[in-house]
Structure formats: structure tokens, C-alpha cells
Amino acid sequence: MTPSLRAIGWPYAAQVEDAAWQETLSAHPQARPARVTEQHRTGYVVAEGPDAGFKAESPPEWQRASSYRKGGIAPEDRAAVGDWVLLEGKKIVALLPRHTAIKRGAAGEHYKQQLIAANIDTVFVVCGLDADFNPRRIERYLVLIGGSGVTPVVVLTKADKALAENANAIDDARAALEGVAQGVQVVAVNAKDPDSVAALAPWLGAGQSIVLVGSSGAGKSTVTNTLLGVEKMKTGEVRESDSRGRHTTTHRALIPLPSGACMIDTPGMRELKPTGEEDIAENFGDIEALAEQCRFRDCKHAKEPGCAVRAAIDAGKLDAARFANFLKLRDEVAGAANQLATRLNQKANDKVQNKALYKRIDDKYGRH
């Protein structure tokens, strides 16, 4: 593979090691790989190297409205930013299997999944050290990231302003995240200072793919601009009342960095819904361990006698707000899991019904 592909995150310095990738590449010997750098309602922009993006024609099935109904293409089954595709001319002919995928439940009443980014090595969870700082929101991001195969790193921006107001601001923030970001690196930076942002270098090596998530005004675009050394991404003013910004990033874009890594900057996500595939125990192992000590196996941790969880809260060993967030996320994940199971069962039933229908047609009219 060429150095140009490597510069936009191609994961292999030499021979392709993934057997599924080898099979797909062999099935399309005339095709060449490219990466999806932008996803729009009307199509895709792909690249074969830095600053080499161009519009590509998607397969016919991707051009139809996404649907979970029989014969439809689910939205998560078509390419998204970060995906590797195979091209013949400017036409996409295949999608290389994903190594990782960060997803969320799409906004709305009906169950859908929305792919945030594919084939990502590290996700920077960006949060400002101002009124934007919210351990519960960071906790929610980490739950969504858990199980995706992607390494999370919490990036606290606006460190300079926070330290000017409180010399212990960073230490206080780390203490607040001690139970939230267990085993997760926490890095505090001044997003406008290249020397400060250099602390992110360990995750920005050649061939690495990074995605930034966080609320609007947290500093995602500012971090990106500083790493690039140019004002490529728009930044907006932040309201003093709540430190929230306007949504200056309006689509997901993949941006090659001088370090050899590439970064995806995403719009601020106002609604973070689980897909039902998350494992709550990964982020709340301490609460799960306490629950095992409860007198009753089906303890709801409300008013039952011998509840180890409530005892820990009363003793100040477990943050009540963290436990409340655990209950909220647990119920949301369980609800999404039920919706996912219903959808999968419906698809399985459709297959059974179609098979029975075709058998009746064959019996009556012969092979169809």
C-alpha cells in the first residue's frame, strides 16, 4: 500500500493481515482502496491520500432510503466516515469489514442505530473545564464507547482559564472523575496552545485514527486546528451563562494530521442514546461488585434490608449521583436491548415466513 493511504489511517504498514480484508480485496482485483472522509445525505467523499478527496458513487442499494424492513439496508450497514471502501473508477463496489465502530441509538421513537465513526483506534472525549464540565456526561460517553474496541481518552480543555480561577482546578476535576473514568487516561490541555496539546501525541502516531466527541463549545474544533497548525475547522463563541457553544461543525469529516494520524471531528451530540449492545458492568464494576454483596439476589437497591449498595451510599463510599446515573443508564440500555431483540426477532420471523411462502408457491406452481 502507498504512503498516501497510510497517512489517512490505513492500518497496515506492509501486507494486509486481516483475512476478511484479504478475501474482499481478492474478490475485486481491479479495485483500489479509499477511505470515506465525508458523509452527506446525497453521497460520499472519499480519499486515497491527504488532500485528495473526491465524490464517489455509492452502490444502488445504498441510494435507497435506509430501512430495517425486509430487503432494506439498515443505516449502520452502509458506509460511514472512517470506513474503507473499494473503488472501480469513482464507483464504490465493496465495503471492507470494520475493525471497530462507535455507534449510538439514533434520536426518535423507533429503534435505529447511528454510526458515529468506523475503524477508529482512539476516541477523545472532549469536555471543557468550565460550566461544560459534567462527570455524568463523560460517564455516558464512556458507556457508549465501551465494547467498541476503541481506546477512550478524556481530554479536558480550557485548562489555562480554569487554573487562572482555581489553582486546584485540574486536580479537582481528576478527583471528580476518579470513579467515572476507571482505567481511562485523563489529559488536561489548553486547546489553543500547541505545546499543551502535544500531550496527546501518544495517540497520534502514523496510521492511527482518532475521533473527537463532546458537546458543542467543548473545544473539539479548536483542538483539531491546533494539531493541524491552521484554522481549518470553524470555531464559535461560547455563551458565558452556561459555557455552551453553537454547533459549528455540521458534518463528520476525516482530517489528516501532520503527525501521520488522522482525526474525525463530529457535530456536538445533544442526545446520547445507547444501542442496547453496551455492557454497563464495564463502567460500573464497583456498583456491580457491591450488588453481589446484597442479602437478596434480586435486590432493587431501594429499601430492601441488607442492601450493600445503599449501605455504601450512606457511608459515603459510593456517590449517590453516580448510582442514580447507573440506574438511569441501566434502564436505558435494557430498554434499547429489548427493542434490538424485537427487531432481530422480527427479521428472523420474516425469513421463516418467506421460506414457508416460497415452499407453498413451489408446491403449487413448481420452482419459482
221 is in an annotated binding site: yes
Domain-wise residue ranges, the chain: 1-97, 117-231+251-265
160 is in an annotated binding site: yes
262 is in an annotated binding site: no
Predicted model pTM = 0.78
217 is in an annotated binding site: yes
pLDDT at res. 103? 84
Enumerate long-range contacts of 280-284, CB under 8 Å, 24 or more apart: 280/143, 280/326, 280/329, 280/330, 280/333, 282/143, 282/146, 282/147, 283/139, 283/142, 283/143, 283/146, 283/182, 284/326, 284/329
Mean pLDDT across the chain, nearest whole number? 83
pLDDT lower than 50: segments of the chain: 238-239, 241-250, 268, 364-365
261 is in an annotated binding site: no
pLDDT at res. 247? 43
259 is in an annotated binding site: no
The residue type of 319 is D
Strands 84-88 and 53-56: unpaired
Give SS3 for 303: coil
**Paired strand residues for 92:** 87
Nearest to 287 by CA among 254, 317, 249, 244: 317
26 is in an annotated binding site: no
247 is in an annotated binding site: no
307 is in an annotated binding site: yes
220 is in an annotated binding site: yes
To the question of domain 1-97 being in CATH 2.40.50.140, the answer is no
Give SS3 for 104: strand
105 is in an annotated binding site: no
146 is in an annotated binding site: no
Task: Give tens-digit pLDDT for 172-196.
Answer: 999 999 888 888 999 999 999 999 9
CATH number assigned to the domain covering 117-231+251-265: 3.40.50.300
Here the cell at position 65 is 432510503
303 is in an annotated binding site: no
pLDDT at res. 250? 44
